[in-house]
Copies of this chain bind each other. A is one copy, B any other.
Amino acid sequence: MPEYLSRRRPLLHETRCQTCSLSSLCLPLALELEDMDQFDAIIRRRAPLKKGEPLFRQGEAFTSVFAVRSGSLKQVTIEGNGNDQLTNFYLPSELVGLDGIDEQHYPGSVVALETTTVCEIPFDRLDLLSEELPELRAQLYRSMSKEMREDRRMMRLLSRKTADQRMASFLITLSDRFRRRGYSPYSFRLSMARADIGNYLGLAVETVSRILSRFQSQNVVAVSGREVNILGMPQLLALAEEDIQEVASS
């Protein structure tokens, strides 16, 4: 057999949910094998996005939700004045676009932070399938509910936490998301720029940079460019929650 044939990437196979390494985290997580086939059938493959390329732009007609397969993305909303707000980062297995259902337009642009592949799930077909498959419907409700809970956590972070607490919380959340996906929770690479982190956390870039430097000098993390090593998870957890006066306890 000529090599170019055997080397041909088995795309269809790779994109099947049954063989996807993310299936235990993703939308079809609760489906039986035969139901998963049905789900599989409505998914569209997409060419990988390059860094900086938009998955969709703010205001475009809502047609599909997307599950991240690899890479990462950010969601950015621009309001009247040029002021933009980064409202979310998306990692593999997470669902993008659910907030567009209501108004039938995507309320923000979603842009790849690195080379990224996604599964496109046309929403009308997903909705119909969710009629037949109670487990799928339940999972969809759960996904949306979870995103609401996370938004509320973010609201608390933005309205009650200091810059240090925000930065520590951010690192912990990332760490946890990597851990759940089978990666090291202590050593990972940030796919987003400092400016993105600042925008997301409601801080100036300079503040993000300063805090990372300080965390480093306190031996809580080691940061080199976008490589992060968490050296003291307990300290980081303490930094994320504690109020200034509570330090005396230990």
- A binding-site residues for B, Cβ under 8 Å: 77, 79-81, 83, 85, 87-88, 98-103, 107-108, 127, 130-131, 134, 137-138, 140-149, 151-152, 154-156, 158-160, 199, 201-202, 241-243, 246
Say whether A243 contacts B98, CB under 8 Å: no
Say whether A241 contacts B79, CB under 8 Å: yes
Say whether B131 contacts A77, CB under 8 Å: no
Contacts of A155 in B (CB 8 A): 85, 87, 151, 154-155, 158
In this complex, what residue of B is CB-closest to A107?
A: B149
Known: A137-B131, A138-B127. A152 touches B107 (CB 8 A): yes
Contacts of A152 in B (CB 8 A): 77, 85, 87-88, 99, 107-108, 151
Say whether A127 contacts B102, CB under 8 Å: no
In this complex, what residue of B is CB-closest to A199?
A: B159
A10 CB, min distance to chain B CBs, angstroms = 34
A190 CB, min distance to chain B CBs, angstroms = 19
Say whether B77 contacts A156, CB under 8 Å: yes
A99 CB, min distance to chain B CBs, angstroms = 4
Q: Shortest 10 CB-CB distances between A and B: which pairs?
A: A159-B202, A151-B151, A101-B145, A102-B145, A158-B158, A85-B156, A102-B146, A99-B148, A144-B144, A87-B152
A60 CB, min distance to chain B CBs, angstroms = 15
How far does the alpha carbon of A243 sit from the alpha carbon of B79 in the complex, in Å? 12
Say whether B156 contacts A159, CB under 8 Å: no
Known: A152-B108, A156-B79, A201-B159. A145 touches B98 (CB 8 A): yes
How far does the alpha carbon of A155 sit from the alpha carbon of B88 in the complex, in Å? 10
A162 CB, min distance to chain B CBs, angstroms = 12
Contacts of A148 in B (CB 8 A): 98-99, 144, 147-148, 151
